[in-house]
Structure 1
Amino acid sequence: MLSDPRPLGPEEQNDLLLQITLLLSHSLPEGWQEVAVSYRALGSHSEMLGQIQRMGQRPSSHEPPPDLAKRFQRLRAGMYRPGVGTWFTATYRLTSSSGYSVAYDQDNEPAWVSAPPESARDEELRMFPRDAQHIPEWWGRPPGGGAPDEAARAPAGRGAGAPTGPPSTPASAPAHGQAHRPTGATVSIAKPYDGTQPDGTPIFQRPPVPPEARDAVVRYLADAPIILSARSFSEDLLAPGRPANVPLTYHTDGTWIWPGSVGYYLRAHGAPPQPELVAHIRDNGFRLPALPENVETAALENLYRYFQSGDES
Structure 2
Amino acid sequence: MSQPPAPMNAAQQHQFVWRIGQALAAATPPGWRQLRVEYRAAGRHIEADLLITGSDGLPRTAQPPAAVVALLGTLRSAMYQPGRGTWLGAILVFGPANVLSADFLPDLEPPWRRVPPPIGFADELRFFPRAEQHIPDWLRARAQLSLSPSPGMRTPRIYDGLDASGRPVVNREPLTPAERERVLAYLDAAPVVLAARSYDTDAFDPDRPAAVPLNFRTDGSWTWPGAVAYYLREHELAPDPELLTHIRAARFTLPEVGEPARDLALAAITGDAR
TM-score bin (small chain): 0.3 to 0.5
If the length of structure 2 is used for normalisation, what is the TM-score?
0.48
